Amino acid sequence: MDKILVEGGRSLKGDVKISGAKNAALPILISSLLTDGVCTYRNVPDLKDIQSVKQLLSHLGAKIETSGDVVQIDAAGLFNHEAPYDLVRKMRASILVLCPLVARLKRARVSLPGGCAIGARPINLHLKGLASLGASIELNHGYVEASADFLKGSEFYFDMPTVTGTENLLMAAVLAKGVTVLRNAAREPEIVALVEVLNQMGANIKGAGTSIITIEGVPSLKPVSVSIIPDRIEAGTFMVAAALTRSDIRLLNCEPDHMKGMIHKLRQTGSDIQIEGKNIRIKGADEIRSIDLKTLPYPGFPTDMQAQFMVLMSVATGLSMISETVFENRFIHVCELRRLGADITVSGNTAIVKGVKALSGAPVMATDLRASASLILAGLVARGSTEVNRVYHLDRGYEAIEEKFGKLGAAIKRIR
Ligand code: EPZ
């Protein structure tokens, strides 16, 4: 298993290009199942999760061509309605093939994704929503078995905003008969990006980005050629790196409008952030001010940035209170940060972080995607060297992270 070694104490400088957004690319590539023709996707990040979704789509019968960051998918030959456990367990977002398969093949047999390190990750709302559109659903031997001769538009209320739940139901409703209204829908930029693609394919969807989305079903969709939006979480991760190392760097090819919550909180800690069109210039402050933080569905502060922010607070001046309201177990990185000398007390879904003068490098273990990014960040400022193990978690969601940090001047290398 690969590990990444980081020598702390270097400051960063220069530009870093932000890649396409993993959490936009996954549903958008899967939406190719909704049409029989060649869809072209540009600015697709080169990630393990993208490889997994391409493997799954080929398994279902789609033809896939990749050259650089351009992926072409032709789902005309879609024939297989089954997404097996060994593919779904590698990436939970595979559950997003459920609704497109029912919409196109009138049936689907998809392995239940199961939980992961950060929580139980249930899909009950995905299933209740699909059933409300007229599908019959059974759970047998760890699989969801869904079928419907046709889907009929309906009103569905999400008990809580779910990103992939909203995306799944959007892809069921676009080809359903009649109108579907999704209430308490997720509002993330990745939802808006998916809806823009579906509308370019001929769908008729209104309200994306608000909590009420209206979809008027259409008989069929046509192929599309689109570019994936920039990854706001990768961008946020590099911004925290600049704040942590008191550096002055520039992020290229971002979408600042998607990052208002993070930018607002980072400015509160003292960073100087200038928006320059699609680029962001950030200068870290000499003294990092501690602030309180609560993760919330978009447009609140993103849960995917909580671990990275906790590292910043661990070397801030004073006490900070971080509440994680989206997932029930997303403080796994706390134990690893304590090994690096952080002073963090957890009670329930709240962590109290007492800033320390400095962290000290040590071997640590990555446990989930964003927690492993936070360990790299900690290594950038910890005294001495930090060895991050199990970096396959990182490779799922960050494209060549050690190369990007290395180009900015960090002392970082991957040990195969
Ligand atoms: C998406 O996961 C992202 N993944 C996650 O990013 C992100 O952390 C999360 O949204 C929240 O922003 C992708 O987009 C591929 P949810 P998702 O459904 O859709 C509960 C990363 O690091 N819930 O919005 O699975 C659930 O338990 C990943 O890139 C139900 O109860 O998250 C959670 O508490 C990690 N029933 C809350 O909703 C359901 O049917 C939000 O989960 C569905 C969700």
pLDDT of residue 49: 95
Helices assigned H by DSSP within 296-390: 306-314, 333-339, 369-381
- 213, 258 Cβ separation under 8 angstroms: no
Does residue 78 have its Cβ closer than 6 Å to ligand 1? no
CA distance 289 to 330: 23
**Looking at per-residue confidence, does 391 or 28 come out higher?**
28
Q: Does position 227 have pLDDT exceeding 90, yes or no?
A: yes
Question: Mean pLDDT in the chain?
Answer: 97
104 phi and psi angles, rounded to 5 deg: -95, -40
- Residues 6+ away with beta carbon under 8 Å from 26: 49, 50, 53, 91, 93, 96
Please work out whether the CB of residue 301 comes within 6 Å of at least one atom of ligand 1.
Answer: no
> 133 and 218: one domain?
yes
Mean pLDDT across the stretch 221-250?
98
**What pLDDT, on a 0 to 100 scale, did the predictor assign at position 238?**
98
Residue with CA nearest ligand 1 atom 28: 304
What b/e sequence results for 170-203 when a residue is b if at least 16 CB atoms lie within 10 Å of its CB, and e otherwise?
Answer: bbbbbbbeeebbbebbbbbbbbbbbbbbbbebbb
pLDDT score of 377:
98
Beta strands 363-365 and 385-389 are parallel
Closest C-alpha to ligand 1, atom 31: 122
| Same domain for 236 and 105 | no
- For residues 286-307, average pLDDT: 98
Residue 97 is given by DSSP the state G
CATH of the domain at 223: 3.65.10.10
Residues 8 and 73 in one domain: no
Distance (Å, whole) CA 82 – CA 84:
6
Give the pLDDT band of residue 88 (cuts 50, 70, 90): very high
**Confidence label for 62 from pLDDT (cuts 50, 70 and 90):** very high
State residue 357's pLDDT score: 96
Q: Which helix or strand (DSSP H or E) is residue 172 part of?
A: helix 163-173
What's the CA-to-centroid distance between 303 and ligand 1, angstroms?
Answer: 9
Q: Do residues 58 and 173 share a domain?
A: yes
- Written as one string, the DSSP assignment of 229-297 is PB-HHHHHHHHHHHHHTT-EEEEES--GGGGHHHHHHHHHTT-EEEEETTEEEEE--SSPBP--EEE-S
Residue 169: give the domain boundaries: 22-227
177 and 245 share one domain: no
Q: Based on the fold, state whether residues 160 and 199 are members of the same structural domain.
A: yes
Closest Cα to atom 21 of ligand 1: 304
Rounded-to-integer distance, Cα 197 and Cα 86, Å: 29
Whether 164 is in the pocket of ligand 1, judged by its Cβ within 6 Å, is yes
Domain boundary among 204, 227, 250: 227
Q: CB within 8 A of 141, min separation 6: which ones?
A: none
Band of residue 1 on the pLDDT scale cut at 50, 70, 90: confident
406 CA from centroid of ligand 1 (Å): 31
Where does the pLDDT of residue 367 fall: very low under 50, low under 70, confident under 90, or very high at 90 and above? confident
Query: 163 alpha carbon to ligand 1 midpoint, in Å?
Result: 6
Instruction: Label residue 368 by pLDDT band (50, 70, 90).
Output: confident
Mutate to test the pocket of ligand 1, among 22, 23, 88 (most ligand atoms within 8 A of CB): 23
Question: Is the confidence at residue 406, as pLDDT, over 80?
Answer: yes
Calculate how far, in angstroms, residue 194's C-alpha sits from the geometric centre of ligand 1: 16
Q: Among residues 185, 205, 227, which one ends one of the domains?
A: 227
Whether 116 shows a pLDDT value over 90: the answer reads no
Q: Is 99 a catalytic residue?
A: no
Q: Is the pLDDT of residue 114 over 80?
A: no
pLDDT in tens, 154-207: 999 999 999 999 999 999 999 999 999 999 999 999 999 999 999 999 999 999
Q: What is the Cα–Cα distance from 148 to 133, expressed in whole angstroms? A: 9
Q: Is 369 in the pocket of ligand 1 (CB under 6 A)?
A: yes
Task: Give per-residue pLDDT as tens, 370-385.
Answer: 999 999 999 999 999 9
Closest residue (by CA) to atom 25 of ligand 1? 164
- What is the arithmetic mean of pLDDT over 299-309? 98
Q: Which of 208, 227, 246 is the last residue of a domain?
A: 227
Is the pLDDT reported for residue 364 higher than 80? yes
> Does 370 sit in the ligand 1 pocket, CB within 6 Å?
yes
Does residue 299 have a cis peptide bond before it, meaning omega lies within 30 degrees of 0?
yes
- Catalytic residue, candidates 99, 116, 254, 335: 116
Residues 270 and 167 in one domain: no
Distance in angstroms (rounded) separating the CA atoms of residues 277 and 270: 22
Query: Is 215 in the same domain as 342?
Result: no
Whole-number Å distance, alpha carbon 248 to ligand 1 midpoint, is 33
Strand order across the 319-324 sheet: 293-295, 319-324, 350-354, 343-347
User: Measured from the CA of 93, which atom of ligand 1 is nearest?
Assistant: 15
For ligand 1, pick from 47, 110, 121 the residue to mutate: most ligand atoms within 8 Å of CB: 121
Same domain for 220 and 253? no
Q: Is the CB of 303 under 6 A from ligand 1?
A: yes
- Is residue 312 pLDDT above 90, yes or no? yes
Residues 70 and 214 in one domain: yes
Average pLDDT over residues 399-410: 96
Residue 160 CB–ligand 1 contact under 6 Å? yes
Q: How many separate domains does the chain show?
A: 2
Q: Clarify whether residues 219 and 273 are in a common domain.
A: no
Is there a contact between 309 and 321 (Cβ–Cβ < 8 Å)?
A: no
